[in-house]
Structure 1
């Protein structure tokens, strides 16, 4: 895996890191510095900030929506942040295995780790680790994060509980938009370049035409089966789909050609990403993509 290229670099630096951590002592959970939290992905980091407010200090590792997250390589700064953190929030499910290497290379007794995929989530699709695209999943993860924040900083229980309710309420706008799209466009044929959007396309009742073998291969960074490429290409060229939903972070020559063919056929292409744009919150990110999809379906 890509992060293995960095393992020696990280391990060599651990002696230095250990002395640094020893000098710093335990991370403070006071309001001035906040509970130190590391989020493997920035959308989890954003949610922790919403839940923790001024009582948390969050570092998000994966934060560039222009980079393929499957090619991420950890570094010494990541190890340092993990070593100082009292709470780690990651996706799990095979999506961010590099976090396990960082945890083992920077051991710390007083540290909590939350992996979303390890929780009893309402929706876990087979061979699909993109659990954050399901809003109900994020509701459960937010509850677990809040529980840990209260454990680490019980003095601010009231703040954390209030923030959780505010977060839960804010998710209703996403549910409402998905319900509106379902009511108007359920059964509409669409194409996907990757499995990520299954978590929203299926609940909205959209008819997914792309062979799952194609989506799965692209999500895993593999070459899709030849017959699935032919089928997917024909669906675009013959306008068997109304919209192509395109993962802008997991691309290849195959998906780029598919996008070009869709544009040539004047088929709307809706861009989605795995990493949250840095100028948005989780909620605005999801809503903006849903609004773009709704506009494309209306054409």
Structure 2
């Protein structure tokens, strides 16, 4: 029996979790006999990507699939636990974002798991493409510094971090008021980086091929088709960067940060504002004043609002943006009804371009 554990960065996010299972193959694979495997994802984002790769070979469901639900605040149910326990593959974001899913996976027995944060270059000590980045490479890849280079041809590789490195990788976690672990200083909304999702799609295809070896070629083709669409998103972001590099953006909450960085925009959000909103904490009066003043005073070119984390402070900054004539763009946590991941993200790219005066 070939046992597999979560990659090192996954083990960090799920402290003490040793998630292991049998790699299905041949007659042992459920899909070989029943024609389908069960895939459960934390949100509609990862469920949609998995559905695109698996096609009809898997039953894919999402724990959180409503745009009106904030995954940060979601509390899992007994039905959710049953779904995850019976799953052949569980997919979640990690980095403290979907802690409910990490808890469900920890409590259940899942054969395989994929985690998105480990494929993002900004994650502390992230290993992408099978090697750990040096300080120089990390600086080159640091989205927060505005260096968004997306050359997929140079990033070929399975992106997996082997479990034996788990003991070598330690990250500081700060616990928010919602009780969910959060990686300090890290924006966990990695699905807003199409390049990271390219790596995730590759990883899902690898997992699918282990579960259903006979369909490996089909999975690889599905992944290639999806990757081509994701690369189209990158091209659109490059166009925005060519036209608006250096334009300023502010946020009510960190969602969308990777997308705007890839578009060459400078984040000028008042320090501490977005983080407080994200974790349901009260925004300091001085911070709120700084945020509203910047919006009213013409210091911000576009304002990104997450409608799923609304409150008095966000209402105040939205009003300030309207007063200052700052274009407002809404970026949600999950896929709106009627869209898939790529059409949703393309709409976000288009909205950003329009707000900046394409």
TM-score range, shorter chain: 0.7 to 0.9
**Aligned match of 1:121:** 120
Q: Which runs of 5+ in 2 are unaligned?
A: 1-27, 124-143, 145-184
Shift of 1:120: 4.1
Q: Secondary structure at 1:202's aligned position in 2? A: helix
Q: Distance in 2 between matches of 1:279 and 1:230?
A: 38
Q: Is the 8 A contact 1:27 1:84 kept in 2?
A: no
**Aligned match of 2:8:** none
Q: Secondary structure at 2:31's aligned position in 1? A: coil
Q: Distance in 2 between matches of 1:94 and 1:76?
A: 21
**Aligned match of 2:245:** 186
Q: Distance in 2 between matches of 1:31 and 1:214?
A: 52
Instruction: Pick which of 98-107 and 171-180 moved more.
Output: 98-107
Q: Which runs of 5+ in 1 are unaligned?
A: 1-25
Q: Secondary structure at 2:350's aligned position in 1? A: helix
Which of 291, 299, 308 pairs up with 1:249? 308
Where is the helix percentage greater, Structure 1 or Structure 2?
A: 1
Instruction: Pick which of 158-167 and 212-221 moved more.
Output: 212-221
Q: Is the 8 A contact 1:31 1:54 kept in 2?
A: no
Instruction: Pick which of 216-225 and 66-75 moved more.
Output: 216-225
Q: Is the 8 A contact 2:29 2:211 kept in 1?
A: no
Q: Distance in 1 between matches of 2:349 and 2:262?
A: 13
Q: Is the 8 A contact 2:209 2:216 kept in 1?
A: yes
Shift of 1:188: 1.4
- CA offset digits 1:139-172 (Å, max 9, x no partner): 1111111111100100101100111111111112
Moved over 4 A (4+): 30-33
Q: Is the 8 A contact 1:27 1:86 kept in 2?
A: no
Q: Distance in 2 between matches of 1:31 and 1:170?
A: 32
Aligned length: 271
Residue 291, structure 1, aligned to residue 293, structure 2 = no
Q: Is the 8 A contact 1:122 1:136 kept in 2?
A: no
Shift of 1:190: 2.1
Instruction: Pick which of 235-244 and 36-45 moved more.
Output: 235-244
CA 1:158 to 1:27, structure 2 compared with 1: closer, same or farther past 3 Å? closer
Q: Secondary structure at 1:65's aligned position in 2? A: coil
**Aligned match of 1:154:** 213
Q: Secondary structure at 1:171's aligned position in 2? A: helix
How do 1:98-113 and structure 2 match up within 5 A?
Answer: 98-108=100-110, 111-113=111-113
**Aligned match of 1:75:** 77
Instruction: Pick which of 96-105 and 126-135 moved more.
Output: 96-105
Give the TM-score taking structure 1 as reference length. Answer: 0.85
Q: Secondary structure at 2:109's aligned position in 1? A: coil
CA 1:271 to 1:114, structure 2 compared with 1: closer, same or farther past 3 Å? same
Which of 21, 40, 43 pairs up with 2:42? 40
CA 1:160 to 1:233, structure 2 compared with 1: closer, same or farther past 3 Å? same
Q: Is the 8 A contact 2:54 2:208 kept in 1?
A: yes
How do 1:20-59 and structure 2 match up within 5 A?
Answer: 28-30=30-32, 33-59=35-61
Taking only aligned residues, the RMSD between alpha carbons, in angstroms, comes to 1.9
Shift of 1:220: 1.9
Q: Distance in 1 between matches of 2:279 and 2:45?
A: 21
How do 1:193-208 and structure 2 match up within 5 A?
Answer: 193-208=252-267
Q: Secondary structure at 1:127's aligned position in 2? A: coil
- CA offset digits 1:187-232 (Å, max 9, x no partner): 1122211112221222222122212311222222212233221111
Give the TM-score taking structure 2 as reference length. Answer: 0.72
**Aligned match of 2:176:** none
**Aligned match of 1:16:** none
Q: Secondary structure at 2:255's aligned position in 1? A: helix
Q: Is the 8 A contact 1:27 1:36 kept in 2?
A: no
